[in-house]
């Protein structure tokens, strides 16, 4: 049986800002910082392997900036999703940890970007400290991503309710009651 707080967590606070029912914006927006930051780490590592790493160093720096911008956008709609979860529940506590970790990672990447600005490498490899900060950021991001998956796949936050999901498993009929054209 579905409780009222479970149903509440599936509905957006603002569909125009957080995405309509069953189609939240947050999971799509998080792909930008994840992709940018993982790629920046790959470029950081590669800068220690190639002969002239300047293009990798500079690309990594800008990928970090793109990731920070994407993280701010993802955090904005993620914060709206947080409002849909009833306080005091395991889902709410998980969401708070998820949010806190993501804010820490974003702050670490802002520091990493500024650190790179203050000491341009002049075409050399990324410094070990900056590389380590990026690697640590990815580890914390992975932990936070696990918690985000728990929110969606275990607790069903911002996912369609069971009756709506069942429509996808009823053979031969769509929502309107007609047979779908295949």
**Domain with 121 in it: what CATH number?**
1.20.120
Residue 139: inside a domain, yes or no? yes
- In this predicted structure, the answer to whether residue 106 has a pLDDT above a threshold of 70 is yes
How far CA 75 is from CA of 32, 80, 96, 112, in Å, comes to 12, 9, 12, 19
Q: For residues 99 and 161, give the distance between their C-alpha atoms in angstroms, rounded to a whole number.
A: 24
Residue 90: inside a domain, yes or no? yes
- In this predicted structure, the answer to whether residue 35 has a pLDDT above a threshold of 90 is yes
Q: For residues 72 and 102, give the distance between their C-alpha atoms in angstroms, rounded to a whole number.
A: 10
- Half-sphere exposure of residue 84: CA atoms within 13 angstroms, side-chain side: 28
Residue 3: inside a domain, yes or no? no
Residue 169: inside a domain, yes or no? no
Q: For residues 63 and 101, give the distance between their C-alpha atoms in angstroms, rounded to a whole number.
A: 20
Task: Give the tokens for residue 177.
Answer: 């009651």
**Would you place residue 120 in the very low, low, confident or very high pLDDT band (cuts 50, 70, 90)?**
low
Residue 125: inside a domain, yes or no? yes
Residue 2: inside a domain, yes or no? no
Average pLDDT in the 56-80 region? 95
Residue 168: inside a domain, yes or no? no
Boundaries of domain holding 108: 12-160
- In this predicted structure, the answer to whether residue 14 has a pLDDT above a threshold of 80 is no
The burial of 143, by beta-carbon neighbours within 10 Å (0-12 exposed, 13-18 middle, 19 or more buried), is given as middle
Residue 171: inside a domain, yes or no? no
pLDDT at 27: 87
Average pLDDT in the 86-115 region? 95
Work out the percent of the chain whose per-residue pLDDT is above 90.
Answer: 56
Long-range CB contacts (< 8 A, 24+ apart) of 23-29? 24/77, 24/81, 24/158, 25/77, 26/74, 26/77, 26/78, 26/81, 26/158, 27/148, 27/152, 29/70, 29/73, 29/74, 29/77
The number of domains in the chain is 1
For the entire predicted model, the pTM comes to: 0.80
Average pLDDT in the 104-132 region? 89
Higher-pLDDT residue of 5, 118: 118
Kindly calculate the radius of gyration of the chain based on its CA atoms and give it in whole angstroms.
Answer: 20
- Half-sphere exposure of residue 105: CA atoms within 13 angstroms, side-chain side: 32
- In this predicted structure, the answer to whether residue 1 has a pLDDT above a threshold of 80 is no
CB 7 within 8 A of CB 125: no
Helix, strand, coil percentages, rounded to 5, for the chain: 70, 0, 30
Average pLDDT in the 81-104 region? 93
């Amino acid at each position: 049986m579905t409780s009222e707080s479970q149903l509440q967590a599936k509905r957006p606070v603002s569909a125009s800002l957080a995405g309509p029912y069953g189609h939240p914006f947050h999971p799509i927006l998080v792909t930008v910082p994840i992709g940018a930051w993982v790629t920046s780490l790959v470029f950081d590592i590669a800068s220690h392997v190639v002969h002239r790493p300047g293009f990798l160093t500079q690309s990594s720096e800008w990928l970090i900036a793109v990731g920070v911008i994407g993280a701010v956008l993802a955090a904005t709609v993620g914060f709206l999703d947080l409002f849909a979860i009833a306080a005091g529940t395991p889902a709410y506590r998980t969401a708070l940890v998820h949010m806190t970790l993501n804010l820490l990672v974003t702050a670490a990447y802002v520091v990493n970007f500024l650190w790179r600005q203050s000491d341009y490498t002049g075409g050399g490899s990324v410094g070990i400290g900056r590389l380590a900060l990026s690697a640590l950021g990815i580890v914390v991001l992975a932990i936070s991503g696990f918690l985000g998956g728990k929110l969606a796949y275990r607790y069903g936050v911002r996912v369609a309710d069971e009756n709506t999901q069942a429509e996808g498993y009823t053979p031969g009929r769509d929502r309107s009651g007609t047979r779908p054209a295949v």
